[in-house]
């Protein structure tokens, strides 16, 4: 049998101590504003029927055409590891009839997503998102609230070097009018076959083509924002008025193309300045036709996905998050067997009251255990021997100052709370 070390698969992001506590902090901070706005948890499978994504996300997208982890399961079904969260949420809303109850359905989610992209800094094959979806009402105030929730998450982390870009893809009528002129324009271009195919499914995709010759060709293309009908234009202006009222800065970027096909109406991206090529820390928008496309009724929805990996990188780049290792309130060093039993009891009682307590395990002796206490970064330490157990009193030592005080074992909680 081989005893060679096994490495993690290429391009996955993973978090181990000490950085994992920063990751956890960022993830919680990004979710908190959604909880405060009444969004509820949706916990969904990481694999789904492949059709969910081909139908939901769209076959013209890189995500579906090139980046899906698709395999046949043992029952011969085509399964795909979820590349994004919105289609799964919509599937679950329809399946559990949530759209027949109180609207909008407001949910948040958090977890791993999978895209077979070329790995680089900030771009992974397994990455983490937190996201929200508000499904069932088409109201510009919800658009503004959804954007504000993402923004509040970034602000609570202390991020400042980012900008919000917004645009509107309009309603069906606006998009149809634009499509006629865009297709006319595209017909004048000399496209390779793959690009022509992509354009046939979704001509807007060509705005997203990173090749220089395509970028300069598309510079003259008609922009959807100039084709918004009265209703769509008013709707977009209303969203902007709400953002203004909320004091959320934004720039209108009419050339923004999101990487997924379901978007309509308001769409947005948060772009960070210090992350290089992978600068998108979050994005989202409205999706009018998705529910119907997945076999449900015709209800609109809006949401966002934030890349937790990238938000962490952004927080580190801005220096607003330290690489804080885990810090406990108390480190107990038991000397002897009866002290060990006592240490377990003390620790368990203090933990019940919310204190973080560690115990020196193993036979490392006093010197070795003191070293471990030091390394752990614990704020306080006690040594528990026979005499301490007999008297019920310990010497509580504050590690940083070296200051010690005699404390009754029964009063440790109060002493740690000062
Ligand atoms: P998305 O823009 O494809 O949108 O992804 C959202 C965020 O996930 C991105 O802004 C980025 O921060 C992060 N992300 C995407 N791919 C990777 C990757 N390979 N490595 C690291 N981070 C990545 C969606 O997924 C939509 N479902 C968002 C949404 C929700 N729209 C409406 N509702």
pLDDT tens for each residue of 328-369: 999 999 999 999 999 999 999 999 999 999 999 998 889 999
The pLDDT tens digits of the residues spanning 130-165 come to 999 999 999 999 999 999 999 999 999 999 999 999
153 C-alpha to center of ligand 1: Å? 16
Share of the chain above pLDDT 90, in %: 91
Query: What average pLDDT does the segment 206-217 reach?
Result: 91
259 C-alpha to center of ligand 1: Å? 9
Q: Is the C-beta atom of 67 inside 6 A of ligand 1?
A: no
Q: Is the C-beta atom of 284 inside 6 A of ligand 1?
A: yes
**HSE (side-chain half, CA atoms, 13 Å) at 6:** 3
| Angle, vertex CA 197, rays to CA 177 and CA 254, nearest 5 | 40
Instruction: Among 284, 287, 294, 311, say which to mutate for ligand 1: greatest number of ligand atoms within 8 Å of CB.
Output: 284
Six token digits for residue 374: 């030091």
CA distances (Å), origin 10, targets 14, 120, 226, 230, 281: 11, 10, 43, 49, 22
Q: Is the C-beta atom of 84 inside 6 A of ligand 1?
A: yes
Nearest to 53 by CA among 95, 92, 74, 81: 81
- Residue 270 CA, closest ligand 1 atom number: 10
Instruction: Among 52, 84, 90, say which to mutate for ligand 1: greatest number of ligand atoms within 8 Å of CB.
Output: 84
């Amino acid at each position: 049998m081989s005893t060679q070390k096994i490495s993690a698969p290429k391009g996955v992001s993973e978090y181990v101590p000490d950085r994992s506590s920063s990751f956890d902090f960022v993830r919680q901070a990004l979710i908190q504003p959604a909880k405060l706005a009444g969004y509820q948890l949706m916990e969904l499978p990481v694999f789904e029927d492949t059709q969910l994504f081909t139908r939901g996300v769209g076959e013209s997208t890189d995500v579906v055409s090139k980046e899906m982890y698709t395999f046949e399961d043992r029952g011969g079904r085509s399964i795909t590891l979820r590349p994004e969260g919105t289609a799964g949420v919509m599937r679950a809303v329809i399946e559990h009839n949530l759209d027949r109850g109180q609207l909008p359905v407001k949910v948040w989610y958090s977890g791993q997503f999978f895209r077979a992209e070329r790995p680089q800094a900030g771009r992974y094959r397994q990455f983490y998102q937190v996201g929200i979806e508000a499904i069932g009402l088409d109201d510009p105030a919800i658009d503004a609230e959804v954007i504000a929730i993402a923004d509040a998450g970034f602000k609570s982390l202390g991020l400042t070097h980012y900008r919000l870009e917004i645009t509107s893809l309009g309603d069906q009528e606006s998009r149809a009018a634009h499509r006629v002129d865009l297709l006319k324009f595209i017909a004048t271009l000399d496209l390779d076959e793959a690009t022509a195919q992509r354009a046939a499914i979704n001509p807007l995709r060509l705005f997203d083509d990173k090749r220089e010759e395509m970028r300069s060709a598309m510079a003259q293309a008609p922009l959807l924002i100039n084709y918004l009908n009265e209703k769509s234009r008013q709707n977009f202006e209303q969203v902007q008025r709400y953002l203004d009222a909320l004091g959320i800065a934004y720039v209108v970027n009419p050339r923004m193309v999101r990487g997924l096909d379901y978007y309509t109406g308001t769409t947005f991206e948060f772009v960070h300045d210090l992350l290089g090529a992978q600068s998108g820390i979050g994005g989202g928008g409205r999706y009018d036709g998705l529910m119907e496309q997945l076999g449900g009724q015709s209800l609109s929805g809006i949401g966002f996905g934030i890349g937790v990996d990238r938000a962490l990188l952004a927080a580190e780049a801005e220096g607003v998050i330290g690489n804080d290792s885990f810090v406990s309130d108390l480190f107990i060093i038991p000397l002897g067997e009866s002290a060990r039993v006592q240490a377990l009891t003390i620790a368990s009682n203090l933990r019940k009251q919310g204190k973080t307590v560690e115990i020196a395990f193993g036979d490392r002796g006093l010197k070795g255990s003191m070293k471990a206490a030091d390394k752990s970064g614990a704020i306080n330490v006690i040594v528990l021997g026979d005499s301490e157990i007999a008297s019920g009193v310990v010497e509580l030592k504050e590690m940083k100052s070296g200051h010690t005080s005699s404390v009754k074992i029964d009063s440790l909680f109060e002493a740690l709370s000062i």
